[in-house]
Amino acid sequence: MNQKLKETFREITELNCDEKFYKSYFEASKSQDTLEQFLADIDKEDAIRRHLVIPDLLPNIISYYMDDDEYFSENDGRNIFISRHNRYTPGFTHKHNFFEIVYVYSGKCVQNIGRERLCFQRGDFIFIAPGVFHNIEVSNDNTTVFNILLKKATFYQMFTPLMKQNDIVSEFFSEGLYNSQHINYLIFHTGATGKANIQKHMIQLYQEHLFHDACSDQIMIGMMTMLVGLITRYYLSTVESSLTDNKRQEPDHFMVLNYIQLNLNTVTLTEVAKHFGFSVSYCSRLIKASTGLSFNEWKSALRMRRAERMLLNTNKTVAVISEELGYMNPETFIRSFKKFTQMTPTQYRKQIDIQKPEKCDTDMPSL
């Protein structure tokens, strides 16, 4: 076994430092007393920097809507992002504007997609369409789940041939690309073993992601195209799908929070209430009950989280970021950012790379 392969398997099997934190959080949550003590001992500044998902302490840094900027930096030119889902991460419901593929490499997990709660096991591939609310729960050491995220443009380039078929796979991909979604997900059950040796291909793909170089993105697009081709060739008979009305799946609070995120720069509480036909007081209570924060606090937290991504993933100046986030002047933005992170935007941009712990997936949250 070569060194890269050894490192890949070690990365897959060993708990990283974020997972160790989440496991302790999971265990502490079994008792109110131990949970309160655990939360009291958390370094909030460190948790914010690492984008840890802690609903009981930091609900304001959890994003309910994720777009391409969250994972695809304009500086590195990647079109495919692969992560190993951090075990024990608290399930947080969210959606995004790109396709996600979930692969259960080993063990078992639970995924909530829309209003359905589904159990998956080794060998299952789950294709989730853009705009569909979902979360995942992995609550043991022995389960390994991969998330594969694809830009819409890349997905179109890779899977146009599949859309020419007259089957449910073609319908799913076509609807997702043209925003007319009725099928929320597809599931392929490839099993623990099989003709196509899916596990081997998945490891090779993840290894290419871990040891990324100038040629990796092109290679990964080719590998991903082949992988999906093998799945549809050998396992089409195992496919399951959901034919549901998405409008019935989005509870009021998700719709409201999503609307705020999509219109973050200019949105007001009055506008949100009017859009959904709510009273201002009901809308305010709904946001407070869902996030633990007032409308203004929630809006500010979302702005700060978006600012962090822009500071990390772009070369835009502080003044430009301030303007794009809807601030009247950079000084107001800088004060708000420092209150949220205890650093100025310039300090944050300079220090974040130095402060990242080794072997931790701290660049972005798991899905």
Bridge partners for 88 per DSSP: none
CATH number at 260 reads 1.10.10.60
User: pLDDT tens per residue, the chain (367 residues)?
Assistant: 688 888 988 999 999 999 999 999 999 999 989 999 999 999 988 998 888 999 888 876 777 777 776 777 666 678 888 999 999 999 888 888 788 899 999 999 999 988 788 999 999 999 998 888 899 999 999 999 999 988 777 877 776 666 555 566 666 766 655 555 567 888 999 987 666 688 899 999 999 999 988 889 889 989 998 898 888 888 888 888 875 444 434 445 667 877 887 788 889 999 998 888 888 898 898 888 877 789 998 888 888 888 888 888 788 999 999 998 889 899 999 999 998 888 899 988 887 655 544 444 444 444 4
| Reported pTM | 0.68
Provide the domain limits for residue 108: 72-247
Give residue 148's pLDDT.
93
Residue 2, domain member (yes or no): no
Give residue 315's pLDDT.
86
Residue 17, domain member (yes or no): no
Of 188, 214, 247, the residue at which a domain comes to its end is: 247
In a shared domain, residues 176 and 130: yes
In a shared domain, residues 257 and 239: no
In a shared domain, residues 200 and 313: no
In a shared domain, residues 93 and 211: yes
Number of folded domains that form the chain: 2
User: What is the distance between the alpha carbons of residues 316 and 345, in angstroms, rounded to a whole number?
Assistant: 11
Of 188, 217, 247, the residue at which a domain comes to its end is: 247
Give residue 344's pLDDT.
92
Of 226, 247, 268, the residue at which a domain comes to its end is: 247
CA atoms in the 13 A half-sphere facing the CB of 243: 5
CA atoms in the 13 A half-sphere facing the CB of 146: 28
User: What is the distance between the alpha carbons of residues 127 and 148, in angstroms, rounded to a whole number?
Assistant: 9
Determine phi and psi for 64, rounding to 5 degrees: -90, -15
Give residue 136's pLDDT.
94
CA distances from 233 to 34, 189, 228, 297, 350 (A): 50, 13, 8, 50, 48
User: What is the distance between the alpha carbons of residues 101 and 146, in angstroms, rounded to a whole number?
Assistant: 8
User: Count of residues for the chain?
Assistant: 367
Longest dimension (CA), the chain: 64
